[in-house]
Amino acid sequence: MSAHIPAIIVRDLVKTYEVPERDPGLLAAIRSLFRRRVRAIHAVSGVSFTIQPGEVVGFLGPNGAGKTTTLKMLTGLLHPTSGEALVFGYVPARREPAFLRRITLVMGNRNQLQWDLPALDSFELIRAIYRLPPAEFRATRDELIDLLEVGDLVRKPVRNLSLGERMKMEIIGALLHRPQALFLDEPTLGLDVTMQRRIRAFVAEYNRRTGATVLLTSHYMADVEALCRRVIVIHHGRVLFDGPLSALVDQFAAYRKLIVTLAESGADLKGFGEVLAHDGLRYTLRVPKAMAPAITARLLAEAPVADLMVEEPPIDDVIEQVFAVGTPR
């Protein structure tokens, strides 16, 4: 595979679900047998992007934005209504074996492993499905078990494992065939902070070792900050932003925080911005981003400032704002 050929190409991708609609009641049920009414749900409304091999991209959006639907189209679980998706040159919806060998989909809220069996047995099943050569399979399996530190858990029935332990097994199962594109849908959902961090470190390490392309959705911004230099934000089925995370903050953060320590008491900083906190000589002010330089200059000229720091709002706040506003400021 040449580095010049994109791993993923998505052009004007559209998915419209048609859901039957009827009024409640028996009569309505009978009527609907003769005249079916359907309602169109525009889950994905013309999404385009290109991802290069080896990139780790965060796919963000509020609930219902169309992330899972897009991932399902990219992995061939759903046919697009229109538009085009290509993954390593394959049309995902055709589900060709050569394509399936190169990708994997991990969904944080879904189990693929056999509940009553130890993970090791499920791994054997996966080996058979993908017809993996035994030696290669064992090497990959043991490397993954080692990386995720689950050596003593693989012999326990999956249902006796904690949520985080189970997730690790799911991830091993999903990577046994050494896929080159990972579609991770909320892989750290519901896990505690330590486990989230482990999974995160693992994904980074897997990407470093194998050069795999990763498209990841997560509601935990810590995941995205740690793993993804680039983010694609979708909202109402459309791409709202595609670029470096830092540029997202730049574009969408509407305010800056000024943390001012005064040398002496007596000054009142209310006139400089919204006072978020005031503790003795220390003030935290919120000011519109565009006015931050001018206000900083005024503060330094007019108040007895001992120390001044300018902070960007936390990434979670910025994202919340992106979702709430829906258009850049």
Ligand X SMILES: Nc1ncnc2c1ncn2[C@@H]1O[C@H](COP(=O)(O)OP(=O)(O)OP(=O)(O)O)[C@@H](O)[C@H]1O
**Residue 171 neighbours by CB under 8 Å, 6+ apart:** 106, 144, 148, 187, 199, 202
Cα angle 93, 43, 173; round to 5: 50
Residues 66-105 that bind ligand X (CB under 6 A): 66-69
C-beta of 69 vs 296, nearer to ligand X? 69
Q: Is position 61 an interface residue for ligand X (rule: CB under 6 A)?
A: yes
Rounded CA-CA distance 236/43 in Å is 7
Residues 9-48 that bind ligand X (CB under 6 A): 17, 19, 41, 43
**134 neighbors 123 (Cβ within 8 angstroms):** no
Least Å distance between CB 109 and ligand X? Answer: 9
Q: Is position 122 an interface residue for ligand X (rule: CB under 6 A)?
A: no
Rounded CA-CA distance 277/67 in Å is 37
Least Å distance between CB 41 and ligand X? Answer: 4
C-beta of 64 vs 244, nearer to ligand X? 64
Q: Is position 218 an interface residue for ligand X (rule: CB under 6 A)?
A: no
C-beta of 20 vs 25, nearer to ligand X? 20
Q: Which of residues 2, 63, 194, 265 is near ligand X by CB under 6 A?
A: 63
C-beta of 217 vs 296, nearer to ligand X? 217
Tokens of 111: 């189990």
Least Å distance between CB 261 and ligand X? Answer: 41
C-beta of 37 vs 270, nearer to ligand X? 37
DSSP H helices, the chain, are: 26-34, 67-74, 97-100, 119-130, 134-147, 163-175, 193-210, 221-227, 245-252, 292-302, 315-325
Tokens of 156: 């326990």
Binding range to ligand X, per CB under 6 A, among 50-58, 65-73, 145-153, 253-261 = 65-73
Rounded CA-CA distance 252/84 in Å is 30
Cα angle 106, 111, 114; round to 5: 125
C-beta of 154 vs 214, nearer to ligand X? 214
Rounded CA-CA distance 100/93 in Å is 10
Measured CA to CA in angstroms, residue 285 lies from 106, 200, 273, 296 at distances of 43, 34, 6, 11
Least Å distance between CB 216 and ligand X? Answer: 12
Q: Which of residues 28, 38, 64, 129 is near ligand X by CB under 6 A?
A: 64
Rounded CA-CA distance 96/83 in Å is 19
C-beta of 16 vs 261, nearer to ligand X? 16
Kindly list the residues in this chain that would bind ligand X in the complex (CB under 6 A).
Answer: 17, 19, 41, 43, 61, 63-69
